[in-house]
A = this chain, B = another copy of it.
Amino acid sequence: MSDTSEAYLQIGEVAERTGVTQRTLRFYEEKGLLRPPTRMDGGFRLYSEDDVKRVEHIRRLQNLLGLSLAEIKEMVEAQEMLREITAQYRPEWDVAEKKRQLRKAIDVVSQQHGIVSQKAEQMSEMKAQLAERLQTFDRWMAELEHAERKAPVA
């Protein structure tokens, strides 16, 4: 291969780099979460670095926010829209149409932001509770050790 065309990855490399299985990558494609990658003549999938990022993003939405693939798909699709707008694709769209799409994207992202904010808040609340509980436990442990020194095991 040419040295500069190293931008293309086969499914195995993508799997390794993202930590998901090949099956999962095909599955995401099937479900519309990853757009169908380009193919080699023989039919092998060729992914871009961008695709890798998308996979990582999907995983974050899954693990961090606990969203379903269906929900993630919606978000990913909005991202797609954006990329098209920003890359000056679809020059046939007039400004009004671009605005419509952009507004849609803003909606999705603010929704995402809302979810994250809410969860983050609940998390720090929970974190505080746990920290407090740990303190209590440490105190109890100290008490137990005190008791042990006073009255050693029979």
* Contact status B130-A123, CB under 8 Å: no
Given A106-B137, A144-B95: A122 and B66 within 8 A (CB)? no
Residues of A whose CB lies within 8 Å of any CB of B are 60, 63-64, 66, 82, 85-86, 94-96, 98-99, 102-103, 105-106, 109-110, 112-113, 116-117, 119-120, 122-124, 126-127, 130-131, 133-134, 137-138, 140-141, 144-145, 147-148, 151, 153-154
Nearest CB in chain B: distance from A107 CB, A: 10
Nearest CB in chain B: distance from A53 CB, A: 12
Partner of A153, one of B95, B102, B127, B153: B95
- Smallest CB gap from A133: residue in B: B109
List 8 A-B pairs, minimum CB-CB distance, nearest first.
Answer: A120-B123, A113-B130, A66-B66, A116-B127, A95-B148, A106-B137, A99-B144, A116-B126
* Contact status B153-A105, CB under 8 Å: no
* Contact status A98-B130, CB under 8 Å: no
Alpha-carbon separation in the docked complex, A112 to B122 (Å) = 14
Nearest CB in chain B: distance from A82 CB, A: 8
- Smallest CB gap from A138: residue in B: B106
For A141, the chain B residues whose CB sits under 8 A away are 99, 102-103, 106
For A153, the chain B residues whose CB sits under 8 A away are 94-96
From A60, A106, A122, A123, name the one whose CB has the most chain B CB atoms within 10 angstroms.
Answer: A123
